[in-house]
Structure 1
Amino acid sequence: MSDSATLIVSELVTNAIKHSGGSQVAFRMQLQEELLYLAVESSASGKPAVRETDNDAEHGRGLQLVEYAVFALDGIWGVSDDGATVWCLLPAMGEDQ
């Protein structure tokens, strides 16, 4: 799980920095009972969404990777109504807890 959580955080923070123009970005991680909560908040305009990309595109797959990693761990993810926060909940299990 730690490798997947690292990938998720890396993609979310990278997207937040890239799309907010380098302004303030906040990362939060909390263990709530048996769930790991990860969230990245930024001042980026617009609402993040998974995009379809061409096979030869060099960018645009970050949220696809997040979605894949979250679902592979039987988690859920989403975006706040104002688009400022992208979050996920992952089952905390095993030795990496």
Structure 2
Amino acid sequence: MSERFKVSVPNERSSPRREDACRVGVMRRIAAARLRYCGLEAMRDDVLLIVSELLTNALQHSGTTEISLVITVDHGVLRVRVRDGMPGVAGLRRPGDSSESGRGLWLVDTLVTESGGNWGTCDGGAEIWCCLPLPTQGQQ
């Protein structure tokens, strides 16, 4: 599955446009359909949270005009890739106790680590990816 969508560049003092933020929900529904098609409903909650966090991070922090989401299943692994095409550093940063944001990659890290997977960035941060092992037959 490979999807791409255009977004408006947010200015520094505003949140992303409502129309752009709604595209994250559309991508979640597409991802859910892909998981259903592949018989991977057992992974649905974790994968949709990961998709939401990675897309929202790209939307809020990259300054890009186009974001892509790719989900593949191959060799016992589900891969999620979000590309915004804008180099930068996506990494774990400790948010303040009263911060209203900054926990998304911590959620991704926790979900991926607990599943035995891994995540990272490539192309200077223009793409963030994660790999999750597929559940064994008894877990599906």
TM above 0.5, yes or no, is yes
The structure whose residues are more often strand, as a share, is 1
* Alignment: residue pair count: 95
1:7 is aligned to 2:26: no
The change in CA–CA distance for 1:80 and 1:45 in structure 2 (over 3 A counts) is closer
Q: Distance in 2 between matches of 1:33 and 1:18?
A: 33
More helix by share: 2
Aligned pairs for 1:26-37 within 5 A = 26-37=68-79
Aligned twin of 1:56: 98
CA distance in 1, matches of 2:86, 2:59: 8
Aligned to 1:83: 125
The structure whose Rg is larger is: 2
CA-based RMSD of the aligned residues comes to 1.3
**Contact (CA 8 Å) 1:37, 1:87: kept in 2 or not?**
yes
Q: Which runs of 5+ in 1 are unaligned?
A: none
Aligned-partner SS, 1:15: helix
Structure 2 gap ranges (5+): 1-42
SS in 2 for 1:82: helix
Q: Give the CA deviation at 1:55.
A: 1.3
C-alpha displacement of 1:14:
0.5
Q: What CA distance in whole angstroms lies between the structure 2 residues aligned with 1:63 and 1:44?
A: 17
The structure, 1 or 2, with the larger RCO (C-alpha pairs under 8 Å, 6+ apart) is: 1
